């Protein structure tokens, strides 16, 4: 049997609809800030959904050369900015000696969707010779990983995960595995997404996945509420720096928390709908808890996938009940998507960051807009206001189209 390494979090970064760095994001989570507003990134007049959770007041040129910004899709910009934040926060330095032991994995559900749309229009209207030579490197989903590795000088394990809304969590879990096995000393990992585009919004609207609450956008993202009618699309990035405990201790790094479990499964059921009763999600939760070697009584908080769609919220509640039984009613469960909207492949990253902030600042983020209880969703969803609490172990759930399920387990350092 291999001698598994313990893995800790030494850096965090976030670009979100409720804050463009960790300090702003923390305040947003603690105060129940609502990041949803009318779409400004394009004219939504012809769309049935006219609102989203956009990243606001971010000047990419403050982090990336202006010339490079024009050659990078918006999702890559978010990913690199959050990665730079996390790396600076960690205090890591890359040298010729350690570069091959530091890697990057950043997940994205759809990659450079804005680039695809823009260049397809140019192709249609102006012909193939006018298509940008940067089209392919701008739109491919692995480019946030590639650009972050270039920016940091990280030459270790490098890949990208595209498992829809589970991508960011899979990226963190896969990085955790590499570090456990000693294949790297540190990994920069998480998710990035920028799908608030005409095609992205139209596609999800046609699939009846979005809320159409145009008369009240700020109340549209309402996970677990009886009057939920779909998710609100968001954008941004959440990135962690993971290290082996040995590497972190060797350089006297500040340690936020430890990652202690990773469960991943597939429903093998339907292209978009979760398996009945949340069976696949429940199995991912079970696997993550088993890896922690802790009893279910030790789980203090669950950051839910909690999309604000009828099927997801009901089935996730069932999944939690199937694992925790009567204890389900004693564990706070909240959805930060009520504030940030649904970042698709970026969700797992910012929600992992939310869990780490919960552990280190002793609070539970709220599920805002929770007004009308649903009999099928009857757990403690921390309604509307953050709650002070001593959190020892937190779980983060991410479930994606295609039946992809992930659960990550984080703990305070012992």
Nearest to 306 by CA among 260, 386, 367: 367
Q: How far apart are CA 47 and CA 43, in angstroms?
A: 9
Instruction: Taking residues 150-172, report their average pLDDT.
Output: 98
Give the pLDDT of residue 2. 58
Q: Which residue has the higher pLDDT, 272 or 16?
A: 16
Q: Above 50 in pLDDT, residue 339?
A: yes
Mean pLDDT over the full length of the chain:
97
Q: How far apart are CA 284 and CA 307, in angstroms?
A: 18
Give the pLDDT of residue 16. 98
Full set of structural domains in the chain with CATH: 7-250 (3.40.47.10), 261-411 (3.40.47.10)
Strand 158-159 vs strand 102-107: parallel, antiparallel, or unpaired? parallel
Q: How far apart are CA 105 and CA 154, in angstroms?
A: 11
Give the pLDDT of residue 3. 76
Q: Above 90 in pLDDT, residue 389?
A: yes
Give the pLDDT of residue 1. 41
Instruction: Taking residues 187-206, report their average pLDDT.
Output: 98
Q: Above 80 in pLDDT, residue 190?
A: yes
E strand or H helix that includes residue 241:
strand 235-244
Cα of 177 vs its chain's centroid, Å: 18
DSSP state letters, 110-133? S-SHHHHHHHHHHHHHH-GGGS-T
Q: Is the dihedral of CA 144, 145, 146, 151 positive or negative?
A: positive
Contact of 382 with 332, CB cutoff 8 Å: yes
Q: How far apart are CA 345 and CA 235, in angstroms?
A: 9
Q: Which residue has the higher pLDDT, 28 or 272?
A: 28
Burial class (CB in 10 A: 0-12, 13-18, 19+), 79: buried
Catalytic residues: 165, 305, 342
Q: How far apart are CA 271 and CA 164, in angstroms?
A: 11
Residues 234-291: tens digit of each pLDDT: 999 999 999 999 999 999 999 999 999 999 999 999 999 999 999 999 999 999 999 9
Residues 69-82: tens digit of each pLDDT: 999 999 999 999 99
Q: Above 80 in pLDDT, residue 387?
A: yes
């Amino acid at each position: 049997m291999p001698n598994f390494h313990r893995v800790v979090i030494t850096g965090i970064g976030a670009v979100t609809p409720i804050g463009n760095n960790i300090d702003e994001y923390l305040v947003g989570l603690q105060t129940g800030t609502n990041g949803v507003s009318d779409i400004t990134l394009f004219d939504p007049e012809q769309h049935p959904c006219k609102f989203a959770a956009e990243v606001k007041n971010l000047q990419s040129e403050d982090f990336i050369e202006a010339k490079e910004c024009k050659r990078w899709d918006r999702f890559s910009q978010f990913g690199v900015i959050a990665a730079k934040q996390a790396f600076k926060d960690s205090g890591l330095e890359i040298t010729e000696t350690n570069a091959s032991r530091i890697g990057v994995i950043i997940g994205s559900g759809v990659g450079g969707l804005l680039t695809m749309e823009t260049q397809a229009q140019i192709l249609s209207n102006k012909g193939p010779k006018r298509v940008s030579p940067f089209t392919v490197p701008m739109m491919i989903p692995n480019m946030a990983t590639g650009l972050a590795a270039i920016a940091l000088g990280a030459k270790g394990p490098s890949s990208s995960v595209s498992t829809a809304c589970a991508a960011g969590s899979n990226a963190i879990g896969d990085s955790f595995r590499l570090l456990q096995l000693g294949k790297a000393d540190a990994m920069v990992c998480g998710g990035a997404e920028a799908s608030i585009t005409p095609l992205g919004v139209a596609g999800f609207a046609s699939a009846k996945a979005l809320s159409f609450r145009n008369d009240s956008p700020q109340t549209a993202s309402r996970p677990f509420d009886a009057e939920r009618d779909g998710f609100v699309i968001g954008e941004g990035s959440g990135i962690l720096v993971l290290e082996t405990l040995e590497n972190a201790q060797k350089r006297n790094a500040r340690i936020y928390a430890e990652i202690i479990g990773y469960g991943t499964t597939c429903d093998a059921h339907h292209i978009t709908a979760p398996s009945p009763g949340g069976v696949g999600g429940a199995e991912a939760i079970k696997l993550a808890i088993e890896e922690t070697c802790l009893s279910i009584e030790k789980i203090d908080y669950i950051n839910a996938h909690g999309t604000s769609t009828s099927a997801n919220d009901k089935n996730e509640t069932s999944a939690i009940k199937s694992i925790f039984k009567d204890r389900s009613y004693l564990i706070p469960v909240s959805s930060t998507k009520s504030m940030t909207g649904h970042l698709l492949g970026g969700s797992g990253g910012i929600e992992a960051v939310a869990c780490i902030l919960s552990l280190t600042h002793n609070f539970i983020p709220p599920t805002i807009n929770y007004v009308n209880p649903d009999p099928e969703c009857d757990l403690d969803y921390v309604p509307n206001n953050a709650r002070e609490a001593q959190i020892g172990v937190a779980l983060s759930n991410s479930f994606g189209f295609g039946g992809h399920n992930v659960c990550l387990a984080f703990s305070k350092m012992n």
